[in-house]
Structure 1
Amino acid sequence: LRSGRLNHWPEVQEATRLGIEGLEQIKEARKWNLVISEAYLPGETEEAEKQPLASQSKPS
């Protein structure tokens, strides 16, 4: 049992790495989304920040 589990460790590490990279990309995208929103719609981002997932919650 134990050796069988250890064989999956590289896949677990790779999946974890990809998950962390994905979260970093999401954070970066949200940051730029706010920058762009503030540039084009000054003063309206405060309302958007209260509901950060409102526009992204719909499945695409």
Structure 2
Amino acid sequence: MTLAPRATVRVHTGVGRDTRKDVHQDRPSYVWNNSGDTATPRNDCGRLVDAVSWGHDRGHRH
């Protein structure tokens, strides 16, 4: 999936139909830690393009 600059997308663990605003990992079990975790989307070359954490640093962007 290619995102436009400044686009927003929600990432879901479970199975679902991908759209421009929602993508699904199609995993059978949860991977996010409810007490805190960090999402780190990367581009096709593996370069970090953003990072968002929640928990102790809820909503903190790196």
Q: What TM-score do you get using the length of structure 2 for normalisation?
A: 0.29
Higher normalized strand content (fraction of residues): 2
Normalising by the residue count of structure 1, what TM-score does the alignment of the two structures yield? 0.29
Structure number with greater CO (CA < 8 Å, separation at least 6) is: 2
Relative to total residues, which structure has the larger helix share, 1 or 2?
1
